[in-house]
């Protein structure tokens, strides 16, 4: 006999979808994409400011670091 006892009330209902309360999976992907693009633009601006301030290595490092999510997505 199994020592795992699952009550019927504790089991998830079949009609309750995973994304029923938070929108569709496509809207979640779009939100993540917008966040990534905004992060990239902000990082490019910060990198350009660092280069203009006389720190080219730091500026290039920031720019590369914020564009990496596009390389792995």
Q: Domain for residue 12, yes or no?
A: no
Q: Domain for residue 20, yes or no?
A: no
Q: Domain for residue 47, yes or no?
A: yes
Which pLDDT does position 69 carry in this prediction? 76
22 pLDDT tier (thresholds 50, 70, 90): low
Q: Domain for residue 61, yes or no?
A: yes
Which pLDDT does position 54 carry in this prediction? 95
Q: Domain for residue 44, yes or no?
A: yes
Domain residues for the domain of 36 are 25-71
Check residue 27 and give left, alpha or beta (phi > 0: left; psi -120 to 50: alpha). alpha
Total structural domains within the chain: 1
Q: Domain for residue 16, yes or no?
A: no
Q: What are 23-65's pLDDT values in tens digits?
A: 667 677 778 888 888 888 999 899 999 999 999 999 999 988 8
- Show Cβ contacts of residue 48 under 8 Å, excluding neighbours closer than 6 positions: 59, 63
What is the chain's length? 73
Which pLDDT does position 23 carry in this prediction? 61
Residue pair 47/66 in contact by the 8 Å Cβ criterion: yes
Q: Domain for residue 31, yes or no?
A: yes
Which pLDDT does position 36 carry in this prediction? 82
């Amino acid at each position: 006999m199994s020592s795992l006892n699952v009550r019927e009330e504790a089991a998830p209902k079949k009609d309750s979808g995973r994304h029923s309360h938070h929108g569709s999976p496509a809207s979640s992907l779009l939100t993540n994409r917008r966040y990534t693009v905004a992060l990239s633009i902000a990082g490019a601006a910060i990198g350009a400011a660092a280069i203009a301030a006389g720190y080219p290595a730091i500026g290039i490092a920031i720019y590369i670091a914020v564009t990496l999510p596009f390389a792995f997505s």
